[in-house]
Amino acid sequence: MPSGTAIAASTPSIIPGLSDDPAELFVRWQAHRDSAAREALVQRYMPLTRRLARRYGRSSEPFEDLLQVASLGLLKALDRYDAERGYPFESFAVPTILGEMRRYFRDSGWAVHVPRGAQERALKVRDAQEQLSGERGHAPSVGQLAQYLELDAEDVIEALQAIHAYETVSLDAPRPGSGEDAGSIGDAIGADDERYELVELDATVAAALKHVPARERLILRMRFVDDLTQTEIAEQVGISQMQVSRLLRRSLDQLRSLTGASAGAR
């Protein structure tokens, strides 16, 4: 192996005066602790490290934190790579860097934090949804939300799913059937409730509807009898569209189980 300085003089390099041949750089770093060579290797493999950080644990942690952990993995790989074995550095670096990120996730209780991150994102999506609905007079698309929040469409879809399905994502909804709020909505329905049109559809549904809280009954009627959109209902009732969505889901679930249409369902 020729000496580093001889190579450096004759080949282009990232750092002035240094070879860009990785084999040469590895010798200079591993055998001679040449920190300039290590710096050149870090620069060379940083794109790989960034790609790995982006692909693993997408949208879970702040990217810069993840990149820092991945970079630590890269430094370990630069120390431990054995070129004598004849495998390219990448095939050694990828598992080493992934291993570092996995260990970080495990040790930092990442799995425990996932729900909190999802919760925060869900609330951001809800707020943006209300903001954009207010400005434009109709509900935004996923693409518009993603652009507004600088998130992936995939993250927005997951947030919408979480809002729809998980009671653990709190939307600060007043509990139905409790407190003054629900009572006043019940009053608002008033005598009209006796002629509730949904009732005409089916005696079983009519009987089941009695078990659905007043607020939910009102929302069911607005959606399915008056044919209002969820955003319109949200405006009239004074809650968010996400809450309308969830209240509809809950009352439909309830109707399903009460009418026995799906005994095995929630």
Partner 1 sequence: MWGDLLARTEMAEIPNVQLNVSSHAENVLLVRQALNGLAETIHLDPLELNDISTAVSEACNNVALHAYDGADGPLELEIYVGPALLTVVVRDHGVGIHPRIDDESGGIGLPIMLALAQSVEFHDLDGDGTEVRLEFAITARAAELERALPGAPALAPVNRDGIADDVTVLTLAPAKLGRTVLPRLLSALAARAFFSTDRISDAQLLADALVAHSEETVNGGQLNIDINVRPRALELRLGPLQTGRTSELVGDGASGGLGLLLARLAESHEVRSAATGDVLALRLTDNGA
Interatomic CA distance for residues 256 and 264, integer angstroms: 10
List, in order, residues 6 or more apart from 90 with CB less than 8 Å away. 48
Tokens (6 digits) for 231: 């955003």
HEC string of 28-93? HHHHHCCHHHHHHHHHHHHHHHHHHHHHCCCCCCCHHHHHHHHHHHHHHHHHHCCHHHCCCHHHHH
Determine, following the binding rule CB under 8 A, whether residue 141 of this chain makes contact with partner 1.
yes
CB neighbours of residue 245 within 10 Å: 18
State the nearest-atom distance from the C-beta of 28 to partner 1, in Å. 23
Angle at 233 between CA 227 and CA 239, to 5 degrees: 160
Among the listed residues 5, 9, 17, 106, the single contact to partner 1 using CB under 8 A: 106
State the nearest-atom distance from the C-beta of 90 to partner 1, in Å. 6
Determine, following the binding rule CB under 8 A, whether residue 94 of this chain makes contact with partner 1.
yes
Determine, following the binding rule CB under 8 A, whether residue 252 of this chain makes contact with partner 1.
yes
Q: What is the CA radius of gyration of the chain?
A: 29
Determine, following the binding rule CB under 8 A, whether residue 8 of this chain makes contact with partner 1.
no
Q: What is the x/- site pattern for partner 1, positions 13-52, by CB under 8 A?
A: -----------------------------------x--xx
Binding site for partner 1 (CB under 8 A): 48, 51-52, 55-58, 60, 90-91, 94-95, 98-99, 102, 105-106, 110-111, 114, 129, 138-143, 145, 153-154, 156-158, 160-161, 164-165, 198, 201-202, 204-205, 223-224, 227, 229-231, 241-242, 244-245, 248-249, 252-253, 255-256, 259-266
